[in-house]
Amino acid sequence: MGVWSPAFEHKFLDGNLLNFDAAARGTDPDITFEAPLVRPTPPPLDRGFPVRRGNRFRYAFKPGLFGNVIGADIQLEIAFPPGTTGQTAGNVVLGNDVVRFLLGFIGGGARLQLVVNGVFLAVVANFDPAAPFRVQARWHTHGPAQIWVNGSLRTYNPTLAPGQSLTIERLAFGHQDASGSTPGAPAFLIRRLGVKLLRKDDAQRALNRLFPVEEAEVDEVCRRRLSAAQDGVLSEFRGFMQQAVAKLTTTWSAGQPGGPFTAEGLAAHAAGVKVARAFVEFMLGRPSGDPEIIKARIGEFLTAIRATDPAAYDQAIARLAATSTPLDAQCLAQLQPLVQRYGAQLQPTMDLLQALWTKMQSPQVTP
Amino acid sequence: MTSITENAARALALGFNLTGRLTHAQVQQLAADWFPEIRFHEAERFHPVDLERLFKIPPAVMDALPPLAQEAFLITVSGPTGEQRFFPPVVRNGSTVLLHGGEIERSIDVTPDGTERLAEDVDPDTVYTHGAGLDRSSQFFGASTTVSGNPDPGPGDPRVPRHPIGVHAEVRFLLDALRHYLQKNTPEDALWGSFNVENLIIESPDQAPRQPTPPRELKIEILRDLVAGFEARDAAQQAAAIDRINQQPDWSLNQRAWDAVRFYAFVEYYFVYAYNDYPDYGDWPFVNEHEGDVEGCCVVFDRRDLDQVAAGTKPIGEVIAHTVITSVHEEFNDNDELKRLPVERDRARDDLVVYVAPGSHATYLTAGSHDVLDWEDILTDWPGQVGGWKEVVVCINYPLIFPILLIAALIEHFVDAEDQTSDNGVRTGPELTTPASPTTFPSELNVAPLSDIGSDLNLYHAGLVPPRNSLDPAELARRAYPGKWGGHDGVADHSATWGDKTPRYFKKFLSNGEIVGEVIL
């Protein structure tokens, strides 16, 4: 399974617009549509959501489910019915306009625009209207934002709305104008819409799955202390990562020479992937999770990102090293049953983590 | 754990019947008529085989190897008397070997074949294994060359199935499945099934973990009355049962679920694979691999049509399947797919295509890439609780939270796992008994007899003393086997038991399907 949280997925597999998946699906969507919401299953080529004036699909997420969103990923598969030559436009909107993915088509040309809290990334692309057209927009709070067309990166910005945390309480897609009904107007078909969101704790939840432990009752004060301490640590990392991303990558669009990633950035990314991958394998007890590989690769990764601002890195590590546990005796007592039960099993993990913390404090790798 | 003989006797006493008034012959026809076309990815290495071949292929392959080569594939079992080595497969309880390849008849359809020994001494912890590794599974079951004879597959040049493709089918009328789930003193095996949907039919407020156990027994008791009242056409009994639901604070009858149970039936197609080699195809994170993999799909029918077939008022050839549902990874991921089929028979038949992702064998309804999603995991936070290994680490040595959170920040940037499905691989299906192209392969459809045990054909007949209707005790022993179908037991990499997929298909049907309740003319 993934790290990001699935929020919404509609594949338009039949004629029932209500045949979709959504996180904690409960409420009915609010759909303005030119035909009944449940129609007999049309032929495969006609399946999809025709985007033209009057057709709009709105869905409200369970309140509180998507607070603290630090990443958004929107994927669309689009088809153009034969003879669709006129200008067509549509969008996918998340939250109260905090994330918008705007789509405009005329003939074989597309203008795509990702807007996060008013800041935008745009690209123009040519495509074959007779072939399936896949587009993807992705944003992360560390700054990077990308738009992909048919699997190829078309534009990249390393500093789009860095540091932002969003609340996404609803989703809408279709034509921006939901008034009236225009069944004969030119339309493109959304064949699939997939939205994934990254909440601030999603990655930790993913790591938790690697070694399931029984849950323990912990009082509100202790939980808040734990959470605040972890937020503080992550804030240090995120602040540093934002500036590292900005230095290791650059604004780029297809057609420009070179690419968005520096050699150092690519190396850091490769090392980071290897660290995380090997760590997962280690936690799952697979042979490929060799602790020595993890230690070596994290050294490479940290060396590369430290080089983007050595002083800031050293200061951040020093601040972390100076912090002490947020858990008082009472909190520690509440967690003791977990320690008693799992402490010994986790000893190899703690040995590895100790080595990684040592590397974080002194990451230098000889090239 | 009861024995097959005891289970069969219980099934007889409880009037086991999952197919309403349909005979097994009608069920076979229905399952064959609506057998979906299955499209595998060109890179698929393990195509489905039936349960019988899981036992017979490994020793048959071993027989063909020179003795020195056999050595590498023998299975070592350590016990109090030291190490012993066996021909694969081995079925064992811990260090006690119940059955091994040396004892199994290699020929297909020969009976007894040795696997009837699984009728005794097996339980959910019993393990079947032919080696629990990709190399061993590949040796016995893996496709090696492509249609054009190449080692590497490509679009239009898929790997050739190593063995005949086998698909297992079972019909389950939902009302009958529910009635049997609600019965007492039921067989304890993998065949009886567990249609545990009481919480979907009778809704009550969510309960957090560590709260008192939900009053399951009360729901079961009420549902027994409700089902009995419906089957007896006793309106007063049904009303009384519904009153009992409404008397409980915040309880309610989910009418849609009750309609689905009463008016729909599933034909479930099971695809049994020797191995899940997902890491060879899927991307990180959290890919898993394991020996033994039971996947499949489900075709939904309107029970009212099938009742007409049973009554002789509708030809079976006029029945039109209603919906198709797939099975995507784990049930708890809630990521299965559903499609309402067209209402014209030919179009419905043409639209009945399922796609199998390589390695994971998740089934989808379209070709292309599919995000591997977990819709349920994001809902598992409960106020007032923490439950993570990192909290244990924090307690013991606080600074170790720093590398954990660094890795957390790293994994946020990776692309999620995807399954790929394709139109360019091996195909099999109902019209394909005679291959029409080099990439089209026939398949054997094995429909389990689950009709009225009192008057028709039922697999439990094979466990009665003496067996009835010439059914094979070995076939019952394999299908009812309650143990694990592989030797992996890790956190992510674990082999599962055979769990019938009726509850998960029902959940999807309830969530996304088109359900028509009582039709009042």
Q: pLDDT class for B207, splitting at 50, 70, 90? A: low
pLDDT, one tens digit per residue, over B370-424 is 988 777 765 555 444 456 898 899 999 999 999 999 999 998 887 677 899 999 9
Distance of alpha carbon A42 from alpha carbon A58, whole angstroms? 22
Q: pLDDT class for B92, splitting at 50, 70, 90? A: very high
> Does the beta-carbon distance from B395 to A327 stay under 8 Å?
yes
pLDDT, one tens digit per residue, over B461-483 is 999 999 999 999 999 999 999 99
Q: Which value, to the nearest 10 degrees, does the dihedral of the CA atoms of residues A7, A13, A18, A24 take?
A: -30
Q: Which residues contact A53 (CB under 8 A, 6 or more apart)?
A: A175, A177, A179, A180, A182, A185
C-alpha dist (Å) from residue A257 to A253, B5, B86, B312: 9, 75, 63, 73
> Does the beta-carbon distance from B403 to A194 stay under 8 Å?
no
The tokens for A20 are 């979709």
Query: Rounded mean pLDDT of chain B?
Result: 93
Asked if A200 has any chain B CB less than 8 Å from its own CB, the reply is: no
Chain B contacts in chain A segment 60-79 (CB below 8 A): 65, 70-71, 75, 77
pLDDT, one tens digit per residue, over B256-293 is 999 999 999 999 999 999 999 998 887 666 678 999 99
The tokens for B468 are 């009835």
- Using an 8 Å CB-CB cutoff, list chain B residues near A339: 392, 395-396
Distance of alpha carbon B143 from alpha carbon B425, whole angstroms? 13
Distance of alpha carbon B499 from alpha carbon B101, whole angstroms? 25
Distance of alpha carbon A230 from alpha carbon A236, whole angstroms? 10
Within a 13 Å sphere around the CA of B499, how many CA atoms are in the beta-carbon half?
A: 14
Distance of alpha carbon A304 from alpha carbon A302, whole angstroms? 5
Minimum distance, in Å, between the CA of residue A54 and any CA atom of chain B: 25
Q: What pLDDT does A83 receive?
A: 79
- Per DSSP, the three-state class of B99 is strand
> Does the beta-carbon distance from B337 to A16 stay under 8 Å?
no
Helix (H) or strand (E) holding A360: helix A347-361
Q: Which residues contact B230 (CB under 8 A, 6 or more apart)?
A: B175, B238, B262
C-alpha dist (Å) from residue B59 to B77, B88, B113, B142, B258: 17, 6, 12, 15, 48
C-alpha dist (Å) from residue B199 to B214, B308, B382: 9, 31, 19
Strands B385-386 and B427-428: unpaired
Candidates B278, B407, B493, B508: best to mutate against A (most CBs of A within 10 A) is: B407
The single residue listed with the structure tokens 């019915």 is A81
Candidates B278, B331, B390, B515: best to mutate against A (most CBs of A within 10 A) is: B390
Stretches where chain A sits below pLDDT 50 are 367
Q: What pLDDT does B371 receive?
A: 86
The tokens for A195 are 């939205």
> Does the beta-carbon distance from A339 to B409 stay under 8 Å?
no
- N-to-C CA span, chain A: 35
pLDDT, one tens digit per residue, over B343-364 is 999 999 999 999 999 999 999 9
Asked if A267 has any chain B CB less than 8 Å from its own CB, the reply is: no
Q: Closest Cα partner for B180 from B510, B468, B453, B457? A: B453
Check if the beta carbon of residue B423 is closer than 8 Å to that of residue B367: yes
Q: What pLDDT does B383 receive?
A: 43
Q: What share of chain B is helix, strand, coil (3-state, %, to 5)?
A: 35, 20, 45
Q: What pLDDT does B448 receive?
A: 98
- Using an 8 Å CB-CB cutoff, list chain A residues near B391: 216, 226, 335, 338
Distance of alpha carbon B311 from alpha carbon A3, whole angstroms? 53
Residue B126 has pLDDT above 80, yes or no: yes
Q: What pLDDT does B286 receive?
A: 64
C-alpha dist (Å) from residue A299 to A184, A290, B415: 61, 15, 23
The single residue listed with the structure tokens 């309740």 is B517
Asked if B388 has any chain A CB less than 8 Å from its own CB, the reply is: yes
Q: What pLDDT does B213 receive?
A: 57
The tokens for A33 are 């549509």
> Does the beta-carbon distance from A1 to B340 stay under 8 Å?
no
Residue A352: phi and psi, rounded to 5, are -65, -45
pTM of the model: 0.95
Strand order in the sheet with B96-100: B96-100, B90-93, B127-129
The per-residue DSSP string of A166-208 comes to B---EEEEE-S--SS--TTS--EEEEEEEEEEEETTHHHHHHH
Q: What pLDDT does A245 receive?
A: 94
Q: What pLDDT does B62 receive?
A: 98
> Does the beta-carbon distance from A140 to B413 stay under 8 Å?
yes
Distance of alpha carbon B215 from alpha carbon B201, whole angstroms? 14
Distance of alpha carbon B424 from alpha carbon B432, whole angstroms? 16
pLDDT, one tens digit per residue, over B480-501 is 999 999 999 988 889 999 988 9
- Using an 8 Å CB-CB cutoff, list chain B residues near A218: 384-386
ipTM of the modeled complex: 0.94
**B84 residue type, one letter:** Q
- Per DSSP, the three-state class of A40 is coil
> Does the beta-carbon distance from A19 to B339 stay under 8 Å?
yes
Residue in A closest to B388 by C-alpha: A208
- Using an 8 Å CB-CB cutoff, list chain B residues near A356: 403, 406
Q: pLDDT class for B219, splitting at 50, 70, 90? A: very high
